[in-house]
Structure 1
């Protein structure tokens, strides 16, 4: 079968239960014979919280440091989703954009 790219936004991965539901969907796609690439956002409103923290620290945070800060939200989600997939017996690895 073909390559499927699935994208899940922050609300879709906003809780443990939602991450588990996403893992179930990904596994079903893989079991149907597709290669799957998954792109996820940070959980829920975590990006908003990180932006607020940055602006609490600095009135004009640098773009580079904002990129570093905001990428941490996605890193949390990709690690948790990979763990959820492993728990279901589905092979998975988490990768950042740079990797």
Structure 2
């Protein structure tokens, strides 16, 4: 490996860590929306993302979102948020690849 190849390799490892929370949040939001059942589209469109520095908040203010997530006596839970949380390592990997220079 010559000097230019070494520099190119080292540059490929450079990551803008300030962009990682937003990239992770974007990937997480996309994943949870994909898992959200759609009848009218309101629940799926209700997902919100807020990134403040390293803090990532994903929320859904649709009044019935928690019933779909957790279920009721008459409805099985969908668990779209819980399932997405379990995928966090894979989501982080995708986000990491996006912020690599």
TM-score, normalised on structure 1? 0.31
